[in-house]
Structure 1
């Protein structure tokens, strides 16, 4: 049996003001955006986009007409929170740059017009990656660290995403609530304690990751 060769790996954290794209709109509307669960197709990639901020609805209206956005599905939205499903062009994106150098995106948070990334990448690719990255905008911060220090992004289950979508769409997070937990549980065909379990786990995963990677920067 062939042994597995050791491959040097580094965790890279960087903040960048992207010259192109929609990330600058987060500053305009006071939005924090977190892309999750990216999947790649030929010439494009799809992902969920979680939004927090002062005016998510106007932010969504602005970015949906951007050239880079091929398709947008609004899964749920209130004035201060939203979940989108986006299909995005590959060209001139940092996502595509990371993929080209066989890196892995561990987290990405966008706020105040600044993109904050954490990626894992082979040590041999670091020099070329950083050279190319500088062509995408102004790099504000760039550090490398051991893989043991990374905090992974949350991975929501299908049931958690489904519960969040309906809760948002039906006004469960509004004040006052426009729907009761009991009514949502009936729509999903589950018991109310099970619904609360899924919602709280999803909220906890998102908030813990947000607080650890954004507030404590």
Structure 2
């Protein structure tokens, strides 16, 4: 599993490109849902919330704008292509990403390097892509993720099982994968445990809880 920081220069016209072109600092966006090419996200507009809301409400390309509080907007609009390119190649956007005019920074979770290459290739069709930081979460030596566990977890991510709200039920996912619900849950539980242990490890193979226990024993 990999976490990749992708720097992207958008060549297409996009409402967010126009909206943030004159803003000094990048604006954070948090993706809530992507479905059928339509994306819903929280725009951390800050002091620009009033101006952003007025412009978004006046734009035909925006389907819905909701004021969450003094600084944040919930926006639903067709994707300009980047989000779809990431998700159709089995990538998942981490919640926090940024936009500043044509410049975007995406934090993407992928299970395999070839999925990351496909994401970059697709983004390159309508923008300039630079790969920034790439972090690999290696499998633990005592409980490696098997090929089947990785396959099931990848499909669960791609089909929206980990989205909120979920885009597919466990019954339907198990049916499409040709396995029982019990087998589905077993594969996912083992994969999640291994990947979380790797992600939370300090590099010595011990998780945070294990480090605390060792410190107390010493």
Give the shorter-chain TM-score range. 0.5 to 0.7
Shift in CA distance, 64/29, structure 1 to aligned 2, threshold 3 Å: farther
Residue 28 of structure 1 aligns to a residue whose secondary structure is coil
Note the alpha carbon deviations across 1:78-114, whole angstroms, 9 max, x for none: xxxx211111214x32111111011111131113542
Matched, 1:72 2:60: no
Note the alpha carbon deviations across 1:135-186, whole angstroms, 9 max, x for none: 22233x32352235xxxxxxxxxxxxxxxxxxxxxxxxxxxxxxxxxxxxxx
Question: Which of these residues, 108, 112, 132, is aligned with residue 122 of structure 2?
Answer: 132
Within 2, Cα distance between the matches of 1:61 and 1:31? Answer: 20
Bigger radius of gyration among the two: 2
Within 1, Cα distance between the matches of 2:59 and 2:136? Answer: 35
- Tell me if the contact between 1:31 and 1:56 (Cα under 8 Å) persists in the aligned partners: no
Residue 23 of structure 1 aligns to a residue whose secondary structure is helix
Residue 69 of structure 1 aligns to a residue whose secondary structure is coil
Shift in CA distance, 129/65, structure 1 to aligned 2, threshold 3 Å: same
Matched, 1:23 2:16: yes
Partner of 1:115: 104
Shift in Å at residue 10 of structure 1?
A: 2.4
Aligned ranges 1:3-82 → 2 under 5 Å: 9-18=1-10, 19-24=12-17, 25-30=19-24, 32-53=26-47, 55-77=48-70, 82=71
- Tell me if the contact between 1:29 and 1:59 (Cα under 8 Å) persists in the aligned partners: no
Q: How many pairs does the alignment contain?
A: 134
Question: Which of these residues, 79, 83, 88, is aligned with residue 100 of structure 1?
Answer: 88
Shift in CA distance, 112/52, structure 1 to aligned 2, threshold 3 Å: farther
Within 1, Cα distance between the matches of 2:62 and 2:73? Answer: 12
- Tell me if the contact between 1:32 and 1:51 (Cα under 8 Å) persists in the aligned partners: no
Residue 76 of structure 1 aligns to a residue whose secondary structure is coil
